[in-house]
Amino acid sequence: MDLRFTDEELKFRDKLRHFFQIKIPEKIREKVSAGESLSKEEMVTSQRILNAAGLAVPHWPIEWGGKNWTPIQRYIFTEEVLYNAVPLPLQFNCFMVGPVIATFGNQKQKERFLKRAANLDDWWCQGFSEPGAGSDLASLTTRAVREGDHYIVNGQKTWTTLGQYADWIFCLVRTDPNVKKQAGISFILIDMKTPGITIRPIITIDGRHEVNEIFFTDVKVPAENLVGEENKGWSYAKFLLANERSGIARLGLTKERVSRIKRLAKTVPYHEQTMWENTGFRERLSWLEIELKALEITQMRVLSKQVSGDKAPDPASSILKIKGSELQQASTELLLELAGPLSLAGSDAAALPDGVDWARGVPGLYMNTRKVSIYGGSNEIQHNVIAKAILGM
């Protein structure tokens, strides 16, 4: 197998890189690079720029805005978005509910929702996890009871990311409690303005309002909002989660962060020198880069199987998830070490010397990144997948 990009693929990469650097506002990219939260307006602005250029949903069917890209081109696109600190198109719209509707929805649903999702005219959020159904998602208890041409929904969802901005929520609901748990679940679309929906913020350890809990009390949902067949929702959820986990290693993000660490290290004092001249710090940074390169080669090996036409799920993706999340966390640990006492100034910009206001947001970024080894299938679960599917244990 050849793990190098072709000349055409390199030209494709350079064209994307130029577009991102020229067209996406620098202020937005600077906030992404610093790990700061974007406003709803900034996220909408970025995605609409991408969508106008045909770059919001390149993995969708062509008739709904997709492009006939190779797996390598799709990989390059995702990594360049991350490496150039461009906000990813909203995951819930573009990688979750959009592909589900495009694959399992009826024509009316496709025409109603897909173009608006690609342009972020509708903001979607995800209603999967519940207080008693996280890793064991099939144990969910939110009920949807059919009454004529509507469903009546009651229950609770939690960890609903950016739900405070959402116009719509796609939910897994239990429509048949009398069969085995995976067999009685349906996939339904709910307008967040429907009476009976209550949303409450969950403030995370870094002080951000990023996730929420949502309560449904006798929420009346048109039956036409059911996607696919009733009680087939578990199959659609597995399809969705496969899309969510694609590119979960986020190599481009860690590469961009390493580049930023290198730049900053040359400006941060360390005794009579700078942190860049601290041998111990350089050794840890070198280790991170070596591990990153090894992960990139593993990623290319997985891609080469896809290019060869192998459609079978590759358990090596669990390796990518584990190592990718570990390296994301390792990069924030180095960044926190670099910020040192400067990060203690918190949000008080006046307390920081000139040129080091970047340190203000580092503790929050560090804490927020603890989650990456949990979402998308916790690393503990991925270790079990590797043990069974690769090692045969």
Which pLDDT score is estimated for 351?
52
Of the pLDDT bands very low, low, confident and very high (cuts 50, 70, 90), residue 345 is low
DSSP, collapsed to helix, strand or coil, labels residue 370 as helix
User: Which of 130, 210, 244, 337 is labelled catalytic?
Assistant: 244
- Calculate mean pLDDT across residues 190-205: 96
Q: Which residue has the higher pLDDT, 250 or 42?
A: 42
Q: Report how far residue 154's alpha carbon sits from residue 8's, in angstroms, rounded to the nearest whole number.
A: 53
Q: Pick from 243, 258, 338, 341: which is nearest to 293 by CA?
A: 258
What pLDDT, in 10s, does the model give residues 57-112? 999 999 999 999 998 899 899 999 999 999 999 999 999 999 999 999 999 999 99
Q: Which residue has the higher pLDDT, 13 or 309?
A: 13
Which pLDDT score is estimated for 1?
57
- Calculate mean pLDDT across residues 324-337: 95
Asked if pLDDT for residue 242 goes beyond 80, the answer is: no
Of the pLDDT bands very low, low, confident and very high (cuts 50, 70, 90), residue 185 is very high
Q: Which of 117-131, 133-147, 202-216, 373-387 has the highest mean pLDDT?
A: 117-131
Domain boundaries along the sequence of the chain:
7-89, 124-232, 247-391
CATH number of the domain at 247-391, out of 3.30.1490.190, 1.10.3720.10, 1.20.140.10, 3.40.50.720? 1.20.140.10
Query: Which class would CATH give 124-232?
Result: mainly beta
Q: 3-state SS of the chain: helix, strand, coil percent to 5?
A: 55, 15, 30
Cβ-based burial of 16 (10 A; exposed 0-12, middle 13-18, buried ≥19) = buried
- For 64-114, the three-class secondary structure string (H helix, E strand, C coil) is HCCCCCCHHHHHHHHHHHHHCCCCCCCHHHHHHHHHHHHHHCCHHHHHHHH
Q: Report how far residue 101's alpha carbon sits from residue 237's, in angstroms, rounded to the nearest whole number.
A: 12
Q: Report how far residue 62's alpha carbon sits from residue 68's, in angstroms, rounded to the nearest whole number.
A: 7
What Rg value do the Cα atoms of the chain yield, rounded?
22
Per DSSP bridges, beta strands 150-157 and 209-222 are antiparallel
Residue 202: beta bridge partners? 211
Average pLDDT, the chain: 91
Q: Report how far residue 293's alpha carbon sits from residue 255's, in angstroms, rounded to the nearest whole number.
A: 10
Which pLDDT score is estimated for 314?
67
Q: What values do phi and psi take at 170, rounded to 5?
A: -100, 130
- Calculate mean pLDDT across residues 330-354: 75
Residue 221 in contact with residue 190, Cβ under 8 Å?
yes
Residues 6+ apart with CB under 8 A from 235: none
Which pLDDT score is estimated for 382?
83
Which pLDDT score is estimated for 243?
60
Which pLDDT score is estimated for 300?
84
Q: Report how far residue 121's alpha carbon sits from residue 112's, in angstroms, rounded to the nearest whole number.
A: 11
What pLDDT, in 10s, does the model give residues 212-233? 999 999 999 999 999 999 999 9
Percent of the chain with pLDDT over 90: 69
Residue 195 in contact with residue 230, Cβ under 8 Å?
no
Which pLDDT score is estimated for 311?
58
Residues 6+ apart with CB under 8 A from 279: none
Query: 187-201, 260-274, 314-328: which range is least confident on average?
Result: 314-328
To the query of whether residue 244 is one of the catalytic residues in this protein, the response is: yes
Q: Which of 284-288, 315-319, 337-341, 387-391 has the highest mean pLDDT?
A: 284-288
Q: Which two tokens stand for residue 141?
A: 């208890």
- Calculate mean pLDDT across residues 327-336: 96
Of the pLDDT bands very low, low, confident and very high (cuts 50, 70, 90), residue 312 is low
Q: Report how far residue 47's alpha carbon sits from residue 362's, in angstroms, rounded to the nearest whole number.
A: 26
269's enclosing H/E stretch is strand 269-270
- The residue written with tokens 């860690």 in the block is 254
